[in-house]
Amino acid sequence: MGKTVLITGASQGIGAVMAVTFAKAGYNVAINCYNEHTLKNGGVGTAGECRGLGVEAECFVCDVSDFGACEAMTKAVVKRFGGVDVLINNAGITRDGLAVRMSEQNFDDVIAANMKSVFNMIRHVGAVMMKQRAGKIINMASVAGVYGNKGQINYSASKAGIIGMTKTTAKELGSRGITCNAIAPGIVESPMTQVLPDEVKEQMRSSTSLKRFGKPVEVAETALFLASADYITGQVIVIDGGMGM
């Protein structure tokens, strides 16, 4: 049947671009959608685009912050495709605000959606990969988790936590032939950045050495590279155009 990639939060944005990128490389694609709305408004179209490239693709609705729901989705994906060769933990949200003004709910929501979801998926898909004695896990971190970012104590904490989880998973599962790496994007073109005022966008661009935003496909191609790299594990690949130099 060929190799299968499972991508969380893949109905739109970077996740959807990843799905198509992996489909072009011949992977069957399991597309996780948060709910029925994201399924209909993105997931279905992304799956159709992947199928148009000659591979099998299917959407799976699941709130990845829910431990039990992740277990059920993992079983459904394995039943449909026979296994999981690559797991990309991409799902995430933002609830920005200064630390001294942030509500407890906004902090908890981001930790659950961004970080606990990664544990949930590694817990269940990792068990599948251990039986296979092979697998690639790729976690989406962020430069906010590397450098910190004002107004994002919750988001920065979740992404820093993902980096720690990545290194621990690499150490725990390496003997079973499983690698685990993280990608930490900087400023990437998205609907969110498109609506920013021109002066804000210019400030963001000027903070990079390359003087431009990153492209979603550049992140997706890095994930595809890590999916084929057998001797790279426990690493954080920063894609920020030189912002951190």
155: annotated active-site residue: yes
175 CB neighbour count, 10 Å cutoff: 9
Cα-flanking dihedrals φ and ψ of residue 170, to 5°?
A: -60, -40
Contacts of 211 (CB under 8 A, 6+ apart): 205, 241
The Cα–Cα gap between 122 and 169 comes to 8
Buried b (16+ CB within 10 A) or exposed e, 24-54: eeebbbbbbbbeeebbeebbeebbebbeeee
The Cα–Cα gap between 238 and 61 comes to 30
Measuring CA to CA, how many Å separate 181 from each of 1, 68, 99, 190, 219?
Answer: 26, 25, 29, 23, 13
Active-site option among 27, 147, 155, 231: 155
Q: Which residues pair with 31 in a beta bridge?
A: 7, 59
Q: Which residues are designated catalytic? A: 155
